[in-house]
Amino acid sequence: MTRIYNFSAGPAMLPEAVLRQAQDEMLDWQGSGMSVMEMSHRGKEFMSIAEQAEADLRQLMAIPDNYKVLFLQGGASSQFAMVPMNLLRGKQGADYVNTGSWSKKAIAEAKRYCQLNLAATTEDSTFTRAPAQSELKLDPDAAYVHYTPNETIGGVEFNYIPDTGDVPLVADMSSTILSRPMDVSKFGVIYAGSQKNIGPAGLTVVIVRDDLIGQTLDGTPTMFDYAAHAEAGSMYNTPPTYAWYLAGLVFAHLKQQGGLEAMAQINRNKAMKLYAAIDNSDFYANPVEPESRSWMNVPFTLANAELDAEFLKQASARGLQTLKGHRSVGGMRASIYNAMPEAGVDALIEFMAEFERKHG
Amino acid sequence: MTRIYNFSAGPAMLPEAVLRQAQDEMLDWQGSGMSVMEMSHRGKEFMSIAEQAEADLRQLMAIPDNYKVLFLQGGASSQFAMVPMNLLRGKQGADYVNTGSWSKKAIAEAKRYCQLNLAATTEDSTFTRAPAQSELKLDPDAAYVHYTPNETIGGVEFNYIPDTGDVPLVADMSSTILSRPMDVSKFGVIYAGSQKNIGPAGLTVVIVRDDLIGQTLDGTPTMFDYAAHAEAGSMYNTPPTYAWYLAGLVFAHLKQQGGLEAMAQINRNKAMKLYAAIDNSDFYANPVEPESRSWMNVPFTLANAELDAEFLKQASARGLQTLKGHRSVGGMRASIYNAMPEAGVDALIEFMAEFERKHG
């Protein structure tokens, strides 16, 4: 068996140690005689798994006690509707910041439920930067402010947490959660699809401040009501138990690695290496302004786009896979989430240099 | 490693052969160097897994070409809202049949979206039977008729498919799908949470006739629109890839076992054995009328409820687990889905006889 370096934007690599533990426990979790997949979600075995996962996530992210952690289904795409359905609370309008593809999806869905104020957009600079705090035109009467801390497709990341005063800040943190410490107390809601830094697809983690739970728009499906899930400890209905278990293994693994401070050092180092390799070359280019570059998703182009297919072919032959850029932007994209080893980034840099020598 | 017989109502047992294959492939799916959990859902590897799973399900259930098969998230509880949101199509009312706990949940959610006509209820006989066709008071102008072919908690099952004329029939088939052949062409929508007969929790299979797709109520979240998922081949957003893969392994396994005709024989045989053991005893009792008894969920009581705890303790010591009845009805419940081997039912019957000899 040869494991590849998989630069997929999500679903993405998982820590090998986590996969090995899941493999070992597949038919018999800790002497229970059952796979985790086979456990009643209300049985003592799964309850212990669920509680440990939440406790570890709370510790990793230092989540304050006045926040609920929900383990839901439906991805960030469901949150695009759940956020206005739960957070408008009698208000009409909400502020949205547009920094690229995922912001736009959140905005399109929110417009169906609220008067949307575009607090900032970097579309005029083709989404190659995050706006500065001073550029945000915030409405003090908005129900909330929504932004996308990391744009998975554009590779643009905020290097600060916006200050929104008393207006709750809502973040689609799908592609940057757990990559470094974040002050949760500055947010009203953090949500994240699991398939990048948390675990397998099919789980959505929502961290929501208590006072924002309990007032939904008329017609909100019960499954889209944060209160239904909060009151039931994320067991209003059968949760995605196996994905929850895998997430718990990832959380425990991150704690073993030294927690989010340690991950931040590793992630910064991996990203800086890769950007340096790109910047030190006339053959590769990344369009994003240096202070807004993502640690997680590194898009880059070749000087000659006709070489793209050859680049991907040779990379794949070396076990460097899923490097093709998103169809909306072309070129390449290396997603280097927590589970991408530094050795994978090194191997990519080495290959890039070699390819440039041959074809540059 | 000793595997137990797990009588959980869901999540429930999976075929051991399926778990072994998943274990073998955990770190490296067919030489790809990736776990299925790590694959991009749009990559060729996962696309082949997804397509094979759908093809196998279509073959197993003989699903006509004018039906879409959707692989969604959110469970039957999400369908309780999605059904009226998608199927009212300008009409005001829908017919619902109430045969127990799960019917009631579907009804409570649907009432928020439509004028609900209770076409039949067996509440006056404490949900111990399914209503006959002649008892159904159907509104010819209803948008659809909803029923629950198998009540997981009450252990009540329809032994016929209701005839609703031109009005689309909608079934929550969570706990009976794949247990026997069913004529899909008689249904408008079939939906099923996966965690009983399909695979791990976190996947919901929806089989919907083409003409019922595309008209939603105002305010329906995009993720609750069948059309969004149908047009995108269930990849409007990242699907629950690992659960989809496991479902595919289960489908392939069922084909190997001889398909749904073979499963029907095995399931009928398992159920009849267990009901015979109950009926031939004065110590055990099942309250459901014989023609409405479920093949999948067999609730039963002991003559003396004070022995319940001792029964569960001794059963557990023999590897016969999760036999406690649902908290709403008490007593015992043996869920004997497709993956419960006949040997598990035999072991339960043997234990029950022995317990009766000692304590009866």
Copy the structure tokens of residue B228: 């969004």
Interface residue B250 vs chain A (CB under 8 A) = no
Q: Is A102 a catalytic residue?
A: yes
Question: How does DSSP classify residue A155?
Answer: T
Interface residue A78 vs chain B (CB under 8 A) = yes
Interface residue B60 vs chain A (CB under 8 A) = no
pLDDT at B330: 86
E-assigned strands of chain A?
Answer: 5-6, 67-72, 93-98, 115-121, 145-147, 150-151, 156-157, 169-172, 189-193, 204-209, 284-285, 297-302, 320-321, 332-335
Of the listed B29, B56, B68, B172, which one is catalytic?
A: B172
Interface residue B15 vs chain A (CB under 8 A) = no
Interface residue A300 vs chain B (CB under 8 A) = no
CB A46 within 8 A of CB A40: yes
Q: How confident is residue B137, by pLDDT bands cut at 50, 70 and 90?
A: very high
Of the listed B29, B56, B95, B102, which one is catalytic?
A: B102
- Are the Cβ atoms of A27 and B20 closer than 8 angstroms? yes
Q: CA-nearest residue of chain B to A106? A: B222
**B323: which chain A residues are within 8 Å (Cβ-Cβ)?**
none
Question: How does DSSP classify residue B290?
Answer: G
Of A2, A11, A112, the CB nearest to B38: A11
- Grouping H, G, I as helix, E, B as strand and the rest as coil, residue B254 is helix
Cα separations (Å) of B259 from A8, B263, B335?
36, 6, 21
Of the listed A29, A56, A95, A196, which one is catalytic?
A: A196
Query: Can you give the residue ranges of every domain in chain B?
Result: 16-256, 259-359
Percent of chain B residues past pLDDT 90, beyond the cut: 98
Q: How far apart, in whole angstroms, are the C-alpha atoms of residue A7 and residue A358?
A: 23
| Residue A215 assigned as binding residue | no
Interface residue B304 vs chain A (CB under 8 A) = no
CATH number for the segment(s) A259-359: 3.90.1150.10
Q: Region B322-345: what's the mean pLDDT?
A: 94
pLDDT at A290: 97
**B106: which chain A residues are within 8 Å (Cβ-Cβ)?**
none
Q: How far apart, in whole angstroms, are the C-alpha atoms of residue A66 and residue A212?
A: 11
pLDDT in tens, B146-175: 999 999 999 999 999 999 999 999 999 999
Q: Is A295 a catalytic residue?
A: no
Query: Which H helix or E strand runs over B268?
Result: helix B259-279
- Are the Cβ atoms of A241 and B321 closer than 8 angstroms? no
| Residue B42 assigned as binding residue | yes
Neighbours of B201 (CB within 10 A): 30
- Are the Cβ atoms of A37 and B14 closer than 8 angstroms? yes
Interface residue B235 vs chain A (CB under 8 A) = no
Q: How far apart, in whole angstroms, are the C-alpha atoms of residue A83 and residue A95?
A: 12
pLDDT at A1: 65
**B4: which chain A residues are within 8 Å (Cβ-Cβ)?**
32-34
Of A13, A43, A73, the CB nearest to B202: A73
| Residue A129 assigned as binding residue | no
Chain A, chain B: beta-carbon pairs less than 8 Å apart: 219
- Are the Cβ atoms of B2 and A33 closer than 8 angstroms? yes
Cα dihedral sign, B109-A106-A159-A270: positive
- Are the Cβ atoms of B39 and A11 closer than 8 angstroms? yes
CB A151 within 8 A of CB A105: no
Interface residue A102 vs chain B (CB under 8 A) = no
CATH number for the segment(s) A16-256: 3.40.640.10
Of B82, B199, B219, the CB nearest to A219: B219
pLDDT in tens, B54-109: 999 999 999 999 999 999 999 999 999 999 999 999 999 999 999 999 999 999 99
pLDDT at A330: 86
Q: Which of 140-179 (A) contact B at CB < 8 A?
A: none
Q: Region B48-57: what's the mean pLDDT?
A: 98
Work out the end-to-end distance of chain B between its first and last CA atoms, rounded to an integer number of angstroms. Answer: 34
Of the listed B29, B56, B95, B196, which one is catalytic?
A: B196
Neighbours of A28 (CB within 10 A): 17
Q: CA-nearest residue of chain A to B202? A: A240
pLDDT (tens digit, 0 to 9) for every residue of chain A, 360 residues total?
Answer: 689 999 999 999 999 999 999 999 999 999 999 999 999 999 999 999 999 999 999 999 999 999 999 999 999 999 999 999 999 999 999 999 999 999 999 999 999 999 999 999 999 999 999 999 999 999 999 999 999 999 999 999 999 999 999 999 999 999 999 999 999 999 999 999 999 999 999 999 999 999 999 999 999 999 999 999 999 999 999 999 999 999 999 999 999 999 999 999 999 999 999 999 999 999 999 999 999 999 999 999 999 999 999 999 999 999 999 999 988 888 999 999 999 999 999 999 999 999 999 998
Q: Is B29 a catalytic residue?
A: no
Q: How far apart, in whole angstroms, are the C-alpha atoms of residue A242 and residue B203?
A: 11
Of the listed A102, A225, A270, A324, which one is catalytic?
A: A102
Q: Region B295-319: what's the mean pLDDT?
A: 97
pLDDT at A328: 81
ipTM over 0.85: yes
Q: CA-nearest residue of chain A to B76? A: A237
**A224: which chain B residues are within 8 Å (Cβ-Cβ)?**
221
Choice among A286-300, A326-340, B217-231, B278-292 with the minimum mean pLDDT: A326-340
- Grouping H, G, I as helix, E, B as strand and the rest as coil, residue B158 is coil
pLDDT at B1: 65
pLDDT at A150: 98
pLDDT at A327: 82
Q: A72 to chain B nearest CA, in Å?
A: 8
Q: Beta B145-147 vs B169-172: how paired, if at all?
A: parallel
Interface residue A241 vs chain B (CB under 8 A) = yes
**B40: which chain A residues are within 8 Å (Cβ-Cβ)?**
8-11, 322
